[in-house]
Amino acid sequence: MSEGDLKTLFAIDPALDVPALAARFAAAGRVQIRNVLTPESARELQMVLARGTPWGMAVGAGAEKPVSISAAESRTPQGQQNLQQASRNAEQHSARGEYGFRFAHYPIIEALQQGLDPGGPHEVLIEHLNAPAFLDLARAVTGIRGLFKADAQATLFAPNHYLGRHIDSHVAEGWEVAYVLNLAREDWHPDWGGYLLFLDEEGDVIEGFRPRFNALNLFRVPQSHSVSYVPPFAPIGRMAVTGWLRSR
């Protein structure tokens, strides 16, 4: 990665109307910040996700520990068998109205801890997410001055992927705000799904954010939400960097 790449991978747009964004977050507990990065930075980061990310799979079912299968493992017969079994389990839970999910991911924090790509773009990305520019923006918009750390994973919702309704209840672990840095195709169509949906106690959708290129979603947790099913005819392209902003 060149010195120029390091400078442009994550540059926040200086024209953001932070007071207006903070007012929206204070009123609703969530906000979508469009055009959060400079256009050059957003395109570069999208390229990192699209061409430089070894996508594995994340599959979850109920209260069981989620299954994470790396890109390398998914190319083996045993990995394929494990993925099929985990996917069937998730579908069975979802069919009963219980929690389940299936989407492609790259666990950036785990990769960093294991030294899988030293100095690579994902490592640079997590440094930017924990740098003053991003954390100061998050503090200013949310009003939570104690935010001091961000974790991250790259996610890709392709056809037949979804994230069932849940609330992100890990408040005891310091989770304060969930974030989704969207880098979907600029022409993402509503019929392709992948919406971040917020639900009331009766399961009605009270707000939804379309996957947008260069848009940052911030929302307080716990809060009932889901990512809608991506149908078989949708293109591969609902990419994002997601995680939680923590107070400890």
Distance CA 96, CA 247 (A): 35
Q: For residue range 139-197, what is the model confidence (pLDDT) as tens digits?
A: 999 999 999 999 999 999 999 999 999 998 766 578 999 999 999 999 999 999 999 99
Instruction: State both tokens at 70.
Output: 């790396």
pLDDT for residue 119: 86
- In order of their start, the domains of the chain are 3-56+101-246 (2.60.120.620)
Nearest to 239 by CA among 212, 217, 209: 212
Nearest to 137 by CA among 17, 45, 239, 43: 17
Instruction: State both tokens at 39.
Output: 């256009």
The whole-model pTM stands at 0.94
Distance CA 52, CA 205 (A): 35
Find all residues with CB under 8 Å of 131, minimum gap 6, and list them.
Answer: 10
pLDDT for residue 170: 64
Instruction: State both tokens at 120.
Output: 């690579």
Instruction: Examine the pLDDT at 3 and tell me if it is beyond 60.
Output: no
Distance CA 202, CA 194 (A): 21
What average pLDDT does range 125-138 have in this prediction?
Answer: 96
pLDDT for residue 194: 98
Torsion of CA 129, 135, 141, 146, to 10 degrees: 130
pLDDT averaged over the chain?
A: 94
> Which amino acid is residue 1, in one-letter code?
M
Angle at 231 between CA 228 and CA 233, to 5 degrees: 150
Count CB neighbours of 100 within 10 A.
25
Instruction: Examine the pLDDT at 6 and tell me if it is beyond 90.
Output: no
